[in-house]
Amino acid sequence: MIDTRYLVVGGGMTGDAACRGILDVDPDPDAVLLLSAEHHPPYARPPLTKSLWKGKAESTIWRGTAELGIRERLGRRVVELDLAARTALDDRGDTYVYEKLLLATGGRPRRLPFDDDDVIYLRTLDDYHRLRRLADAAARVVVIGGGFIGSEIAAALAINGTPVTMVFPEPGIGARVLPATLSTALNDYYRDRGVHMVAGAAVTGIRRGSVMLGDGRTLPADAVVAGLGLEANVELAEAAGLPVAGGIVVDAFGRVAGRDDVFAAGDVASFPGGALGGYRRVEHEDHAKHHGRLVGGNMAGAGEPYEHLPFFYSDLFDLGYEAVGDLDSRLDTLTEIDELDAKGRVCYLDRERRPRGVLFWNVFGEVEAGRSLIAAGEVVPREPPAAVGGTRR
Ligand SMILES: Cc1cc2nc3c(=O)[nH]c(=O)nc-3n(C[C@H](O)[C@H](O)[C@H](O)COP(=O)(O)OP(=O)(O)OC[C@H]3O[C@@H](n4cnc5c(N)ncnc54)[C@H](O)[C@@H]3O)c2cc1C
């Protein structure tokens, strides 16, 4: 039996932030124990599709969790919780007794529905290493998926001179998030940079050396990377009888419903959406950092509600954006983007024409204006609000 005041399960960006949040309030590092299934200490995941492909050293990704002086046990997966006894059991048979528990178990990549042993699902540093070795051997890579991971890794590979094909069922890159004109314009942008684009196609199988499509075509592939979205790692919580609805359901303080000793944060948590209403699960870095830190503080008694509206960002070759709120291409939008490589903005509106999300295209450091717009919740008139600018489309 290993005793600890605070047990943090999950060594991602949220787990790291939570340890910091605990220490903000209860500065006794010996009281904090972090367990992670990964063999690496906490690191930033965004560089795995971005800066590491642009010459940044791998040493830049570490979060420096060990320097906090807390106890870390890596390569340990928690397999069972006993909420009544306040214990957690890991996959090597060790049992931990806690006073406060945080579940920061994140998520795992959604997989293809058929045999996919050779597919790289890019989530971890080990996945990055595997892909890097193949890319350095100038392998032809097929990237399945046109969302965040697919679009970023296709650009990263192409920048490094790797022959890349991108295949996805939607008509354009980022189609679920970006307005249609922007999304399809990105296809041309990628094509101009040497990416072989196969939009509107479904992958039906993979055999060593080729990816098969529903229309009978095959794409040659020395390596296949898939970015198909995330499934939250909720099984541990579910098996313990904790409330799960897409993610582990928590209140504004990160407490799991009905308990004051169990918390959840980051990608795995479903939390009250504040200005946007309802419950939401957010899979982005800014949320991992803010939610993790705040909930960590609350484990130690801070008692602060989560009111932060997280932003997210993406890099696509020389283009980039930051965004806040709901970006759903099914919503009405006010779009001001004249050229892909110029600055622009998109405001996403609900049925009553209230702003739900704002996309800042090649514009950085303005998300606060987007937050204010969403929080104000004012009906947008025929002309767009000043913070968003532009013309109605
Ligand atoms: C390649 C990539 C690029 C990204 N780019 C961006 C970006 O540009 N912008 C952005 O905003 N966000 C981006 N993200 C998303 C962002 O990185 C995530 O939202 C964030 O890292 C989530 O952190 P987390 O700690 O909540 O979850 P995770 O990172 O999933 O960490 C959970 C950890 O818990 C461990 N674990 C799970 N179950 C157990 C268990 N039972 N016992 C012990 N340990 C367990 C896992 O092994 C893992 O280490 C990117 C993600 C990836 C993968």
Residue 383 lies in a domain: no
Residue 387's pLDDT is what? 53
Which residue's alpha carbon is at the smallest distance from atom 34 of ligand 1? 10
Residues 208 and 242 in one domain: no
pLDDT at 17 over 60: yes
Residue 139 lies in a domain: yes
Residues 101 and 244 in one domain: yes
Residues 261 and 214 in one domain: no
Q: How long, in residues, is the chain?
A: 393
Angstrom distance (rounded) from CA 245 to CA 224: 32
Residue 309 lies in a domain: no
Residue 207's pLDDT is what? 87
Ligand 1 pocket, residue 285 CB under 6 Å: yes
Residue 354 C-alpha from the chain's centroid? 26
Ligand 1 probe mutation, 267, 286, 313, most atoms within 8 A of CB? 267
Give the count of beta carbons closer than 10 Å to the beta carbon of residue 106: 26
Residues 178 and 238 in one domain: no
Residues 294 and 359 in one domain: no
pLDDT at 330 over 90: yes
CATH of the domain at 339: 3.30.390.30
Residues 324 and 218 in one domain: no
Ligand 1 pocket, residue 45 CB under 6 Å: yes
Residue 117's pLDDT is what? 78
Residues 164 and 177 in one domain: yes
Residues 82 and 120 in one domain: no
Residues 119 and 195 in one domain: yes
C-alpha 139 to ligand 1 mean position (Å): 27
CATH of the domain at 189: 3.50.50.60
Q: Write down the pTM of the prediction.
A: 0.96
pLDDT digits (tens, 9 = 90+) for 87-112: 999 999 999 999 999 999 999 999 99
Q: What range does the domain containing 335 cover?
A: 318-376
Angstrom distance (rounded) from CA 222 to CA 208: 8
**Nearest Cα residue to 312 out of 304, 322, 303:** 322
Residue 188's pLDDT is what? 98
Which residue's alpha carbon is at the smallest distance from atom 41 of ligand 1? 78
Residues 128 and 222 in one domain: yes
Residue 209's pLDDT is what? 85
Residues 9 and 103 in one domain: yes
pLDDT digits (tens, 9 = 90+) for 226-240: 999 999 999 999 999
Mean pLDDT across 35-56: 97
pLDDT at 216 over 90: yes
Ligand 1 probe mutation, 103, 123, 152, 285, most atoms within 8 A of CB? 285
pLDDT band, residue 383 (cuts 50/70/90): low
Averaged confidence pLDDT in the chain: 95
Ligand 1 pocket, residue 150 CB under 6 Å: no
pLDDT band, residue 264 (cuts 50/70/90): very high
pLDDT at 388 over 60: no
Residues 61 and 98 in one domain: yes
C-alpha 45 to ligand 1 mean position (Å): 7
Looking at the 3D structure of the chain, how many domains does it have?
3
Residue 385's pLDDT is what? 53
Pairing of strands 210-213, 203-207: antiparallel
**Nearest Cα residue to 265 out of 44, 2, 3, 18:** 18
Residue 71 lies in a domain: yes
Residue 65's pLDDT is what? 98
Residue 381 lies in a domain: no
Lowest mean pLDDT among 11-20, 190-199, 200-209: 200-209
Burial 237-253 (b: 16+ CB within 10 A, else e): beebebbbeebbbbeeb
Tokens 């939570």 map to which residue?
A: 18
3-state secondary structure of 306: coil
In Å, the largest CA–CA distance within the chain is: 65
227, 142 contact by CB (below 8 A): no
